[in-house]
Structure 1
Amino acid sequence: MAQHHTQLEIERKYDVDGDLRPPQLVGVGAIAVEGEPESAELVAVYYDTADLRLARQRVAVRARRGGSDEGWHVKLPPTDEGRPELHWPLGDGEKPPAELLETIREELGDGVLVPVARVTNRRDTTLLKDAAGFELAELCDDHVRSENLRTGASDAWREWEVELLSGAPDSRERRTALLDGIEAELLAAGARPSASSSKLQRALGL
């Protein structure tokens, strides 16, 4: 059986105009080191029922190729601080693992998964570390192209995404303070809080 792992995704997203430069974040909270951006091309195919049963319940299933977390992902509805995300190996990238299907059995019911959207993302990721080298967060600069496989509609946009990593503060209050500090710099640089909750929601026009 394909092994999966679970993480709590704590992130914030921002809409960004085409030519905006990400600000320097050293000095925000405990951020002492800003790595060189690393680029990757990520291609994700999202699966849902024909009537978008999962999307309407804030559940997302995708097969992603490229990047450090290539594989099958299930994103569950947000909790009060973050969003649980489960990962499985990619396999052939066409057939979801049986354990994944079992995880969403209640939400899926008798529905059948079909591809509903393709999202291609050229991502530049900058690691943000403290003075001891622990990874606090990452800033992702995403140039996104989406295709709605149900309607043929397409879209293109740019966004910044800040996600906390394993070295983030161990209390919710301090995690929020770190995210607030980063957000202040991003907004000052010209970013805006994202109008859409996820790339999938935007791709599907929900």
Structure 2
Amino acid sequence: MTKRSQVEIERKYDVDENAVPPRLVGAGPVALESDPSTVELVAVYFDTADLALAHNRIALRVRHGGGDAGWTVKLPGDEGRTEVSWPLGEADSAEPGSVPPPAEVVEAVRSYIGDAPLEPLARVTNTRTTVILQDAAGFAIAELCDDHVRSEALRGTKEPSRERRWREWEIELLEAAPDTRERRTALLDDIEARVLGAGAQVSVSSSKLARALGVDALGE
């Protein structure tokens, strides 16, 4: 399996069903917006019986659909999170979650789980509409994702209901984002002002997995 690694820098916002995504041209170097595109994503998250990964703020998932389908491990970092990803294999064409993580993926989290087996933790189905924010030359700076999410906690939830539904917006930086932390923060702050002005609120949950489990953050 071919492994790749990247840093994910993003901000999340809670919105109601009537919210309209704002125009973001003029925020920092954003000069263009792509036409929106919509895709359905289905992800299953894995962990040990005692949630060893969640307690270390680590997520391991397999996702079907979209451009980043495959196995992903998300690790906490100084700025954003580090994503280590592998493509889907032939066996992964089955129902998401029905095939255990490949050996190479398990080895990436071995120091956190020891010999404990990994089991399906939650299933998250997301109808995502994405707009790419570009600079004047057409390079991708960031993306605005409008997510309509349905989750099912397969175990580990703190709430009686195993299914949850919500809508959120994500702003994630892309390849042509500013090359210093100070400028990246300034861009995100500029975009955030517009997003909050459109009726969004900073998300109370750290991730879709945390929300599926009924907690504010992984590790709780």
Scaled to the shorter chain, the TM-score interval is over 0.9
Shift of 1:66: 0.1
**Aligned equivalent of 2:166, options 152, 157, 167:** 157
Query: What is the CA–CA distance in structure 1 between the aligned matches of 2:101 and 2:17, rounded to whole Å?
Result: 35
Which residue matches 1:65? 64
2:44 is the counterpart of 1:48:
no
**Aligned equivalent of 1:110, options 102, 107, 115:** 115
Query: What is the CA–CA distance in structure 1 between the aligned matches of 2:162 and 2:101, rounded to whole Å?
Result: 25
| Conserved? CA contact 2:100–2:118, under 8 Å | no
Gaps of 5+ in 2: 93-98, 216-220
TM-score normalised per structure 2:
0.91
| Conserved? CA contact 2:100–2:119, under 8 Å | no
TM-score normalised per structure 1:
0.97
2:27 is the counterpart of 1:28:
yes
User: After the TM superposition, which residues 1-206 of structure 1 pair with which residues of structure 2 at under 5 Å, given as runs?
Assistant: 2-77=1-76, 79-91=77-89, 92-93=91-92, 94-150=99-155, 153-206=162-215
Shift of 1:120: 0.2
Query: What is the CA–CA distance in structure 1 between the aligned matches of 2:210 and 2:111, rounded to whole Å?
Result: 21
Q: CA RMSD in A?
A: 1.0
Shift of 1:110: 2.2
Query: What is the CA–CA distance in structure 1 between the aligned matches of 2:79 and 2:49, rounded to whole Å?
Result: 30
Q: Count the aligned residue pairs.
A: 204
Letter in 2 for 1:86: V
Shift of 1:180: 0.4
Shift of 1:89: 1.0
Query: What is the CA–CA distance in structure 1 between the aligned matches of 2:169 and 2:182, rounded to whole Å?
Result: 23
| Conserved? CA contact 2:15–2:199, under 8 Å | yes
Shift of 1:7: 0.4
Shift of 1:101: 1.1
| Conserved? CA contact 1:88–1:97, under 8 Å | no
Query: What is the CA–CA distance in structure 1 between the aligned matches of 2:33 and 2:83, rounded to whole Å?
Result: 26
| Conserved? CA contact 2:69–2:87, under 8 Å | yes
Percent identical across equivalent pairs?
63
Per-residue Cα deviation, 1:72-127 (whole angstroms, up to 9, x for no partner): 000012x2211000110111232322221111001111211010100000000000
Query: What is the CA–CA distance in structure 2 between the aligned matches of 1:144 and 1:23, rounded to whole Å?
Result: 20
Per-residue Cα deviation, 1:29-50 (whole angstroms, up to 9, x for no partner): 1000001111000000110112
Query: What is the CA–CA distance in structure 1 between the aligned matches of 2:124 and 2:176, rounded to whole Å?
Result: 29
Shift of 1:25: 0.3
Per-residue Cα deviation, 1:140-192 (whole angstroms, up to 9, x for no partner): 00000000011661100000000000000111111111100000000011100
